[in-house]
Amino acid sequence: MRRLTLLIAVMLTLAVATTAQQVEDLQRAITLLDETMSKNFTGSDMRMFDTYDTSTHQGSGTADVWPYTAALEAHCSVLEALELLKDYEPQLYADHHDRLVTRLRSLYDNLAYYRGSLTLVSYAQQKTWRIFGVHRGARNRANVAGIENVYDDQMWICRELVRAYRLTGDDDYLAEAYNLAEYCIDGWDCCLDNNGNEYGGISWGPGYNSKHSCSNGPLIQPLVWLHEIYAARGDDEVANYKYVFIEPDNTRAFELRLPSEVFREFAEKIYAWQKKNLLNTSTGVYYDMLGADGTIQYVKIGNRSYRDHVATGNRGGTAYTYNTGTMVAGSAELGRLTGTKAYFDENARLCSSSISQFTKAVTKDGASYRRFPTDEKATSGFNCWFNNVLIRACVDTYEMGNSSAKRSAKVLLESIQDDLDYAWEHYLQDGCLPIDLLDGWKGTTVTKGFHQLAFASEYAMLAVWHERMNPTSVAPVASDPADPFDQGASRVERFDLSGRCLSQADGAGIVIERRTRADGTARSARLWYR
């Protein structure tokens, strides 16, 4: 009996610890996000500094649109975690939700300093677009010509605006996301080879011929989401998407189609193209790019000129975590959408390969850790954010992948959790974490808001992951004054003796039941058999 009592006590402690993990992660995410916004953004127009010095407490330079997009992402990630935990932590939700929604909208409104217009001659049409340039400029008049805009920037923004729409219901986010998705799809190389097949792939930007993992893979997940949003309209969906293509005789044509159909079609086409052309089958992860001559070429059809296909060279470049991460997310989403086994299998292979290719076992203070790729200094690379893309894809995989994929994703998620926690406990400096989570600042005091926002996003998505693994937010139960274990509880959680959170549908067995008041206090527990 004494051993059973001890077991009950241990399991209750573990259950409480599990519950606390997602709350701690979310609190740290909010802290990092607020610290970064206060230190790395200035003025009512929300100009973002390029770097921040923790010794002088000063920011300098102006960030490009890509780091600015990381602020959108971090806000969406924290809001996603707040939504999941709002029943368990109502005060945390009340303190932060509305103000973060407001700040997210302000970030979006001031994204206009990167926005500009251009008339682009693409493979099948000429059209004027409103998109985002690399560098900040005058409001709605930024330079977006040639290499001043790249497709991957539009894709990252598109992804976060779809998330923002799903989290807030603000139609402005959806309209902008639609526009950016359409612009990126217009960059698809629809020129035909000698067999009548499209060459496929999206170049790095309209001013480039090279085709990159980062200018294809990031679009897959938001395209799946857009497909679902428009397909949900059912008979109210309008066939108003102008789909342009090339006929076998090389003439250009178009047809009006349902947006949901086009978005799904291109999610699958882009995935298939990238897997065929950029997967390194010997390592199981993705190459960076296909090189090509830099001269944009045109072909004249009738009295109109169009962009022409340019042959690409060999695959190469560094295998970055984010290029595999976007395909992890893409395979998870397409597997969920289609139920196709091949997507689930590929998702599992990519997660497994990511462990061996991107992490290295190290020992710190006598404990084992896995080191993710890092840079020599904060101003010389972007591995912090690259890793974040892989991590958030692992969270998606744990929700949607098969059992093999979940095991590998769990290793990666537990590893980044350990690394972040180690840095938080040993190296937190002026509200910032070092880019080398295990070895610290190493004499430097300079960081980037870009990297800090990546850490905030990771902590928020770890909170999402823990909550999905062991849900804390369950339906309220009525108080029973006659039940000494009730104590006015608002929530009931049940665990088996292994610590697994149980649902009402789980079968009979010994159950540890914990009840909690609405304010999170007065936890009580009992052991019973059902």
What pLDDT, in 10s, does the model give residues 99-116?
999 999 999 999 999 999
Per-residue pLDDT band for 470 (boundaries 50, 70, 90) equals confident
Say how far apart CA 132 and CA 141 lie, in whole Å: 10
pLDDT at residue 496 greater than cutoff 80? no
Say how far apart CA 252 and CA 249 lie, in whole Å: 9
pLDDT at residue 380 greater than cutoff 80? yes
DSSP label at 115?
A: E
Mean pLDDT of 128-138: 98
Contact present, 313 and 290 (Cβ < 8 Å): yes
Residue pLDDT, tens place only, 304-334: 999 999 999 999 999 999 999 999 999 999 9
Per the listing, tokens 């006015």 go with 488
Dihedral-angle region of residue 216 (phi above 0 means left; psi in -120 to 50 means alpha; beta otherwise): alpha
Nearest of 373, 371, 353, 372 to residue 361 by alpha carbon: 371
In 60-170, alpha helices (H): 65-85, 90-110, 151-168
What is the per-residue pLDDT for 19?
47
Residue pLDDT, tens place only, 394-417: 999 999 999 999 999 999 999 999
Helix axes 2-40, 449-469, angle to 10 degrees: 150
Domains of the chain plus CATH, in order, are 22-469 (1.50.10.20), 491-529 (no CATH)
CB neighbour list of residue 516: distance below 8 Å, 6 or more residues apart: 489, 490, 491, 493, 522, 523
The residues facing 300 across adjacent strands are 305
Per-residue pLDDT band for 472 (boundaries 50, 70, 90) equals confident
Radius of gyration of the chain (CA): 25
What is the per-residue pLDDT for 511?
52
DSSP label at 503?
A: P
Residue pLDDT, tens place only, 198-237: 999 999 999 999 999 999 999 999 999 999 999 999 999 9
Per-residue pLDDT band for 478 (boundaries 50, 70, 90) equals very low
pLDDT at residue 485 greater than cutoff 50? no
Say how far apart CA 265 and CA 288 lie, in whole Å: 24
Residue 356 is which amino acid?
S
Q: Copy the structure tokens of residue 250.
A: 């090389």
What is the per-residue pLDDT for 488?
44
Long-range CB pairs of 407-412 (<8 Å, 24+ gap) are 408/348, 408/351, 408/352, 408/354, 408/355, 409/351, 411/355, 411/370, 412/351, 412/354, 412/355, 412/359, 412/370
Residue 43 is which amino acid?
G
Residue pLDDT, tens place only, 135-183: 999 999 999 999 999 999 999 999 999 999 999 999 999 999 999 999 9
Contact present, 500 and 59 (Cβ < 8 Å): no
pLDDT at residue 513 greater than cutoff 70? no
Residue pLDDT, tens place only, 4-59: 455 455 444 444 444 489 999 999 999 999 999 999 999 999 999 999 999 999 99
Nearest of 108, 158, 159, 117 to residue 138 by alpha carbon: 117
Share the mean pLDDT of the chain.
90
Contact present, 230 and 261 (Cβ < 8 Å): no
